[in-house]
Amino acid sequence: MPLTRERIDELLGKIGHSRVLIIGDIMLDEYLLGVVERISPEAPVPVVEVTSNRTNLGGAANVAANIRALGDESILIGTVGADDAAEKLGGLLEQRGISREYMVTDPERPTTIKTRLIAHSQQVVRFDREKRSPLSEQIEARILDRVRSLIESTGAVIISDYGKGVITPTLLKSVTDLCNEHGVFIAVDPKETNFHNYRRVSLITPNHHEAGFAYGRKILNEEDLHEVGNGLLKKLEARSILITRGPQGMSLFSTEHEPTHIPTFARQVFDVTGAGDTVIATFVAAVCAGATLPEASVFANVAAGWTVAEIGTATISAKQLRKEMTGHMKDGRLEAPVGDAELSGK
């Protein structure tokens, strides 16, 4: 049956009462904003006159911010450098009500910084300052100790893998084993080059390019989509896979339901930066509140539709999510055609 206003109110009323661990690559996002009025005489490139700048949480830190914005407690675990960027990042976390105490300082690695130069609402170029080598065994052990100390009081774990070296195969396996041992929902926002390591998790959220690459078949039509989705589900022994498909919405494959397809709720797209962070955070928050996997997919899709209409990384609150879902309702039900199955999956 489709999502009714009563069911949406019930689930939104329960969001905000869980603790979620976010483990992964912590980043600082920097934005330089300006205008272009001429081409450089030195090279055929635009001259951007920078008029303002701002910093924001990126990578796993943005996932944590999304979880916190929805009302749940965010515990962010990862590494930062012994540098000024780490201090800036810590200040931004505290402004969002997220503790910095579980981050591990690694003096051998700088804090990852992504700097985006934007003119007239268009990204001109991005600079990355980072070190992508795998963590040392000592730092990895310190991260795992933090996870062990918190796992029994945790509602869910999110692995935010941006391929910067924090999510090593041994750390991933240890965290997955801990979650399965304690019955904790574990979701992975994947990096395609590490895909074969994401085994026995509760949820994986690749986009259609990542999913096709991981399975070895490009998704060009519905037949490809089903083969890739169901194939990855079996290959990785996962509970569910949510494939994000841009303008075509999302498709959920799980061991508990028939495939479920949800069209996009985006009215306009300005910036997809951080949209994947919003998807996985909203999905997990909904699951912690008692949503079924198909219901959580709809929540995530609505949240993503709002996020991509914003410039830069954006977080959606439970209040805004309610407003967005209400705006898509007709006759007291959320308008969301689902293709292969009803939202209940039955």
pLDDT tens-digit readout, 106-130: 999 999 999 999 999 888 999 999 9
Q: Which stretch of DSSP H or E encloses residue 209?
A: helix 208-215
Bridge partner residues of 203 (DSSP): 187
Answer with the residue of higher pLDDT: 257 or 50: 50
Q: Report d(CA 68, CA 298) in Å as an integer.
A: 20
Q: Report d(CA 309, CA 267) in Å as an integer.
A: 8
Judge whether 188 and 161 are in contact, CB under 8 Å.
yes
- Is residue 185 classed as helix, strand or coil in its secondary structure? strand
The answer to which of 82-86, 205-209, 338-342 has the lowest mean pLDDT is: 338-342
Task: Evaluate if residue 52 carries a pLDDT over 60.
Answer: yes
What are 305-338's pLDDT values in tens digits? 887 655 555 788 989 998 888 887 777 777 654 4
Task: Evaluate if residue 55 carries a pLDDT over 60.
Answer: yes
Task: Evaluate if residue 267 carries a pLDDT over 70.
Answer: no
Over range 39-50, report the average pLDDT: 96
Answer yes or no: 83 catalytic. no
Token digits for 169?
């195969």
Judge whether 102 and 77 are in contact, CB under 8 Å.
yes
Token digits for 63?
């996932």
> In the chain, where are the structural domains located?
5-29+59-113+131-334
Instruction: Measure Cα distances from 247 to 6, 266, 321 in Å.
Output: 28, 8, 20
Fold observed for domain 5-29+59-113+131-334:
UDP-N-acetylmuramoyl-L-alanine:D-glutamate ligase (3.40.1190)
The residue annotated as part of the active site, out of 72, 271, 277, 340, is 277
**In percent, how much of the chain has pLDDT > 70?**
91
User: Residue 138: how many CB atoms within 10 A of its CB?
Assistant: 10
